[in-house]
A and B are shown apart, each in its own frame.
Chain A
Amino acid sequence: MKWNTKTYEFPLLAIVTWLLCYSPAAAATLAVLYPEVKAPYKQVFEQILDGIASQHNERLLKVPLGKKFDKSRILAEMDSDNVDMVITLGRRSFSFVSELKDRYPFVSGALPLSPNGVSGVSLIADPETLFTRLNTLAPKVQRVFVVYTSRNKWLMELALQSAESKNLKLVPYEVKDLAQAVEKYREIFKQTNSYTDSIWLPLDKITANEKVVLPLLLKEAWRRKIVLFSSKPSHAKRGALFSIYPDNKRSGVRLAQMVQEIHRLQNKPGVEPMKYLKVGVNLRTSAHLGLEYSREQMHSFYAVFPTP
């Protein structure tokens, strides 16, 4: 998983955004709560923090959270440190949300957020971007099957609209558990056609389970020559045609922008799906499916597998 093999530096863009958002009156302190985890996940948070720092030029307070942490002590410290706004990254710091709600303007990131009153950038990819990629990487595909659980229901509504606009037919099935999911995939495979049908693996612990579902799907898709693409970065390496890589630094920038906006304007931007995406492609799978990519296309890929 090479999320950080290439970092796109946009110094000019950063300066422009800084100029746009900068107001001398808003000399504010931003606290970022993030979990302390091991590599390779550590780099994800570092990249997001980089983005935040590039957007927020004033006082930045990094608050790492260990596996165990004292919530009230951290809150008290933030109070005494005159924190003006907060960004939470990951699941651990998301547990602060209820306390933060009434105290500070805050946004959350690095989570597959769904719209539920919290503002932030979701890890869930914007279906529109996803389908655009699908169109360019597997132009023959006409149908997209997806199996999801209730948590991703909101995304499916977005996806249905996006699919229509991209001339794709989205066939979603909702399931309750793994057993149902496995059963549903079996059914799907019975009705798929090679090359023109595809299966989309959303960010879902059950329907895109890596240990049970993924091996099953990879095997069947390979055999039936069905396009398999995923919202989870690591799946391209495992054998999906392509998978989506979030641009962590840019989502950091976006998070900082959002919290500054809330701080200034007292509004509620809500949850945004991940719009800044990079793509990893498995060339063995693409060759198997008879897909060929131009030099420019190859150049735009964030990662290719198997790694040369």
Chain B
Amino acid sequence: MLIIGRNKPQTLRRQLLTFLLLSIALLSILSSVVGAWVGSSQSRSMLVNSSLQIAGNLAERSVLSLITSSEENAEEATSQVLGFSDVIGVAILNEELTPLLIKGILEFNAEKYMSLKNNDGPKLAEEDSKSWRILAPVYFPDIAEGEDEFEMEAGDPKKMGYVIINVSKESLIALSDNLLVYNILIGVVTAATMGALMNIGIGRLTQPIFNLSHRMKQAQESGEHTFARIEGAKEIRQMAESYNGMMKVLEKQEDELIGMNVRLESEVEIRTKELIQARDAALVAARTKSEFLANISHELRTPLQAVMGYIELVKEELEFEAMDQQIEDLEEAMKSSQRLLALIGSILDLAKSESGKMEMNPQETSLIEVMDDLTAIVKPLAAENNNQLVITPPRSNIVFIADREKVMHVLLNLLSNACKFTHDGSIEFTVKKTSETLKLSISDTGIGISQDQHTLIFDEFRQVDGSVKRQYGGTGLGLAISKRFAQMMGGNISVTSSLGKGACFTLSLPLNSSVSLEVENKGSFREITQ
């Protein structure tokens, strides 16, 4: 349909109305034009016919004037014809088409009529927009058929001349104009009346569907389940019924949904309460454990330090008496005590960090200084297993904010592990810096760690297998503490290694971590060229 607006959807009523109105308008215009055309063509043929008749009559009346070649007779014959309002000109011509008389408006040109000389009766000879010219032959008067049986010779009609009448089309044109105007007027009035009636009719017809759509829109906007009135045509009733059915189903489903929701919510609440209880219990348990560990370590360290003090005292006394054998035994006891003290320290550290009591002490830390200190400590360790220690300091010093003690602790642990698990090899310490992280790697050529152990070694008290403890000693707490420290500083420790091929542990520290942010305005790090 041509009338459906493409941009803005129109109402059904308006579309129907527009379509019907256009159709009616088209119909009425068409019918009025056709009516006018038929009417005017009919009256045209009527006028032509009556003109032909007038011409025929004139032809009969003109006989005398042609016989006598008398203009007076011609005048008399034509006067009546000119009385017809449509006849505006008339001519009587002899057989050679020489005019005997021309009256009124008639431009006569003999040549035009030459070809029509053989016509038997009146004929439309010429036509232009304003008038017709009709040519009628004039016959010598003859007697009727049948009557000629009483004559000696058969009658032979003889042409004596012609008459022409010029018939104006004015009245015809006026008539057809009037016809057209009246027809169109009637058409317009009819179309307007029909339009008005249709407007009412379509309004009535479309009201139910309008109501339905309005109700649906309301339902959509409010989200409520409103029901539609069942009215109007069969289809609309069906639509309304379907809509109401849908609404019913929706309402039922929503009710069910609400019920389910309520049940679910109460269940979630119960579960959440249970979970909170469980978590709280776990937290309490963990804290209790850490607190216990911290307390026990402290309680263990004090008597152990007292034991070690007495061992030192006894050893000094024995040196005076040069009792070398006993001194040696005491030194063993001292060593074991020191190991026990270290173990207790480690457990204390671990417990402290787990219970959240470990304090961080961020400060400006110079990497070169750290490395120098480490070198001094680790050198004898490396030498023990005949390892070569390669420490490559960065080309320019890096100063960053971190807890210096803990960084030292982590790196020392990694270096001591490397020295411990490597024999006659080399240990390398390298530094790598990106814009965000500082990566400190310690790699060795020692026994290596199989792939499946890579995550396990960071657990507390975990060593690769039982033989390690026997062969290398240790508690298995070093990496666990180191990892915790690294994480507390916002960093991490990672390992790459495979069995028998050495290992590489990397401590990565953020350069602008939350820790370092606190002193950022002082410059989180700076590079010092050596």
A positions within 8 Å CB-CB of B? 35, 37-38, 41, 44, 90-92, 94, 110-113, 123, 151, 178-179, 182-183, 205, 209-212, 216
Name 18 extra pairs, CB < 8 A, besides A35-B149, A182-B64: A41-B147, A90-B150, A91-B148, A91-B149, A91-B152, A91-B153, A91-B154, A111-B150, A111-B152, A112-B150, A113-B152, A179-B69, A182-B68, A183-B68, A205-B155, A210-B141, A212-B63, A216-B64
| Complex Cα gap A183–B153 (Å) | 25
| Complex Cα gap A91–B149 (Å) | 5
Q: Contact at B64–A90, with CB atoms within 8 Å?
A: no
B60 CB within 8 Å of chain A:
yes
Query: Chain B contacts of A211 at CB under 8 A?
Result: 60, 63, 141
B264 CB within 8 Å of chain A:
no
Query: Of A44, A205, A212, which contacts B64 at CB under 8 A?
Result: A212
Query: Chain A contacts of B147 at CB under 8 A?
Result: 41
B116 CB within 8 Å of chain A:
no
Q: Contact at A112–B146, with CB atoms within 8 Å?
A: no
Query: Chain A contacts of B67 at CB under 8 A?
Result: 178-179, 182, 212
B314 CB within 8 Å of chain A:
no
Query: Chain B contacts of A183 at CB under 8 A?
Result: 68
Query: Chain B contacts of A94 at CB under 8 A?
Result: 152
Chain B residue, CB-CB nearest to A209:
B141
Q: Contact at A41–B60, with CB atoms within 8 Å?
A: no
Q: Which 4 residue pairs of A and B lie closest in terms of their CB atoms, listed nearest first?
A: A211-B141, A90-B149, A37-B146, A41-B146
Total of A-B residue pairs, C-beta within 8 Å: 55
A205 and B143 in contact, given A182-B67, A216-B64 (Cβ under 8 angstroms)? yes
State which residues 20-63 of B face A: CB under 8 Å. Answer: 60, 63
Q: How far is the CB of B242 from chain A (nearest CB, A)?
A: 84
B421 CB within 8 Å of chain A:
no
B positions within 8 Å CB-CB of A? 60, 63-64, 67-69, 140-141, 143, 145-155
Q: How far is the CB of B132 from chain A (nearest CB, A)?
A: 27
Query: Chain A contacts of B64 at CB under 8 A?
Result: 182, 212, 216
Query: Of B143, B145, B152, which contacts A210 at CB under 8 A?
Result: B143
Q: Contact at A92–B152, with CB atoms within 8 Å?
A: no
A112 and B141 in contact, given A38-B146, A179-B68, A182-B68 (Cβ under 8 angstroms)? no
Q: Contact at B150–A123, with CB atoms within 8 Å?
A: yes
- Interface SS majority for chain B: loop
Q: Contact at A37–B149, with CB atoms within 8 Å?
A: yes
Q: How far is the CB of B159 from chain A (nearest CB, A)?
A: 14
Query: Chain B contacts of A90 at CB under 8 A?
Result: 149-150
Query: Chain B contacts of A92 at CB under 8 A?
Result: 149
| Complex Cα gap A123–B151 (Å) | 9
Query: Chain B contacts of A110 at CB under 8 A?
Result: 149-150
Q: Contact at A91–B151, with CB atoms within 8 Å?
A: yes
| Complex Cα gap A123–B69 (Å) | 34
| Complex Cα gap A59–B149 (Å) | 26
| Complex Cα gap A212–B76 (Å) | 14
Query: Chain A contacts of B150 at CB under 8 A?
Result: 41, 44, 90-91, 110-112, 123
Chain B residue, CB-CB nearest to A234:
B147
| Complex Cα gap A37–B143 (Å) | 14
| Pairs A–B under 8 Å by Cβ, sample size 6 | A94-B152, A151-B152, A209-B141, A211-B60, A211-B63, A216-B64
| Complex Cα gap A179–B64 (Å) | 8
Query: Chain A contacts of B146 at CB under 8 A?
Result: 37-38, 41
Query: Chain A contacts of B152 at CB under 8 A?
Result: 91, 94, 111-113, 151
Query: Chain B contacts of A112 at CB under 8 A?
Result: 150-152
Q: How far is the CB of A201 from chain B (nearest CB, A)?
A: 14
Q: How far is the CB of B317 from chain A (nearest CB, A)?
A: 186
Query: Chain B contacts of A111 at CB under 8 A?
Result: 150-152
| Complex Cα gap A90–B143 (Å) | 15
Query: Chain B contacts of A205 at CB under 8 A?
Result: 143, 151, 155
| Complex Cα gap A124–B69 (Å) | 32
Query: Chain B contacts of A37 at CB under 8 A?
Result: 146, 149
| Complex Cα gap A271–B145 (Å) | 26
| Complex Cα gap A37–B147 (Å) | 9
Chain B residue, CB-CB nearest to A42:
B146
Chain A residue, CB-CB nearest to B148:
A91
Query: Of B63, B68, B149, which contacts A41 at CB under 8 A?
Result: B149
Q: How far is the CB of B100 from chain A (nearest CB, A)?
A: 13
| Complex Cα gap A56–B214 (Å) | 110
Q: How far is the CB of A203 from chain B (nearest CB, A)?
A: 8
| Complex Cα gap A257–B418 (Å) | 179
Q: Contact at A178–B140, with CB atoms within 8 Å?
A: yes
